Structures are given as C-alpha cells and as structure tokens.
Chain A
Amino acid sequence: EAGVAQSPRYKIIEKRQSVAFWCNPISGHATLYWYQQILGQGPKLLIQFQNNGVVDDSQLPKDRFSAERLKGVDSTLKIQPAKLEDSAVYLCASSLAGLGGANVLTFGAGSRLTVL
C-alpha cells in the first residue's frame, strides 16, 4: 500500500512569511496527526483529526498555526506568520482509528522547515 505522502520535503522562508504543508494519509485511515519535531526533541502533537473533525488541538499555537482536513482525507497545515522558533520537521501520520489502545501510527517522511 502507498505510504503517507508529504510535501514539500524542504522549505526555507524568512520570518513573518507564510508556509503550507500538505499531507495525504494512507487510504482508509480515519485518524490524521500533525507533529512538530524540533531538532533533538521528540515529536510533539500539534493537532489530531478523526475523519474531518478535530479531536485534539491543545498544543497548536492557534494565533499562527492552522490546519484543515478536507473531506476527511488529505490535510494542510499552515503557519502565518512564521517565527524563528518554528524551524522544525513537521511530521504527518495516520492510523486506522484513534479509539482504544495499540494505536499504531504510520508516518510520512516529514517536511523540514527552516525560518531565517
């Protein structure tokens, strides 16, 4: 089966500019996640979708970050305006369901953002 697709793989912008990342999950996976991974740290959940509804966005900086999941399939994460501390790898992951335990995530390769 095809994996989780993400684009772009790399993006360099200046602070205060905007950027958007796209993710296409594995077909049939109801749950989609966006994680932020800063160098030397573990992935931090930004937002979790169940189909096209948000079930957790408690750590999403809503003044500058936004995300949507169109028709419960692919998703876009936007940052506007970007700050230096947003430099990180943005990981998209999907899973069959978010309910219950043993929830195995399949990750994309990530989108590396550098803010100058």
Chain B
Amino acid sequence: GNSVTQMEGPVTLSEEAFLTINCTYTATGYPSLFWYVQYPGEGLQLLLKATKADDKGSNKGFEATYRKETTSFHLEKGSVQVSDSAVYFCALTGGTGGYQKVTFGIGTKLQVIP
C-alpha cells in the first residue's frame, strides 16, 4: 500500500536558519504530494502541493519539489521565523484513480528559537 516516511523530530533551529524536512514515499501510479502544517491549537491546513513529477509547490517561503526518481518531496525554507514553529506533515493521495485516500506521515515538529 501507499506510505509516507518523514524525518522524526523535533527539529530545533535558530531564527533565519535554513530548514529541510525530508519526506519519501511509496505509492503505485502517479500520486499527488502535499505538505500540511499544524500550528499549536489549530487543525491541519494545506501548506503546498505538487501533482506531477518535477512540479515545485511553494507557499509562505516554503518549497518542495516532486522528485519521482528518488520518490521524495523534501520541504525547504531558506530563513525560518519563530512563527513557523509547528508540526509539518507530508502526505500523498493514491495514484490509481477512483476514490483516493490521503495518507499522512508521522509529522515533524519544528521549533524555531529567537
């Protein structure tokens, strides 16, 4: 079945540091890939997405590129802020058509310190 593997946290960075959160996936067909973010006390919300190989999703300074050859979708940000402290979830939808289930990774907690 489909699965998502992402690096375990917590990740602690100083403000303005470079962020990478690794995500790899296993899926049949051609999945769509997502990053969701969960800020403290809030529900999950979509951060960015990519629907086909080599697509780059971007939002709020975050980027991730759909790499089919390495089955990866790593999240990056050049300069993190304290307000980026949250839990980040990599996710995919199944790639074989029909009603598609969204599969999530375990989440990576990011803490940014001033």
Contacts and interface: CB of A to CB of B under 8 A. Distances in A.
A91 B41 CA distance: 13
Interface centre among A42, A93, A107 (most CB of B within 10 A): A42
B102 A45 contact: yes
Interface residues of A, number: 29
Interface string A105-116: 111111000000
Interface string B13-50: 00000000000000000111010100001111110010
A55 interface: yes
Nearest to B107: A42
What class of interface size applies to chain B in its complex with A? 20 to 34
Contact of B99 (A98, A104, A105, A108): A98
B9 to A, nearest CB: 10
A42 B49 contact: no
Contacts of B42: 109
A99 interface: yes
Nearest to A4: B43
Given A99-B99, A101-B95, A104-B49, A43 B104 contact: yes
Interface in A69-116: 91, 93, 98-110
5 contacts: A91-B43, A93-B44, A99-B99, A103-B100, A109-B43
Question: What 10 pairs between A and B have smallest CB-CB spacing?
Answer: A42-B104, A107-B43, A101-B32, A55-B99, A107-B44, A98-B99, A42-B106, A102-B32, A109-B43, A102-B51
Interface of B: 4, 30-32, 34, 36, 41-46, 49, 51, 89, 93, 95, 97-107
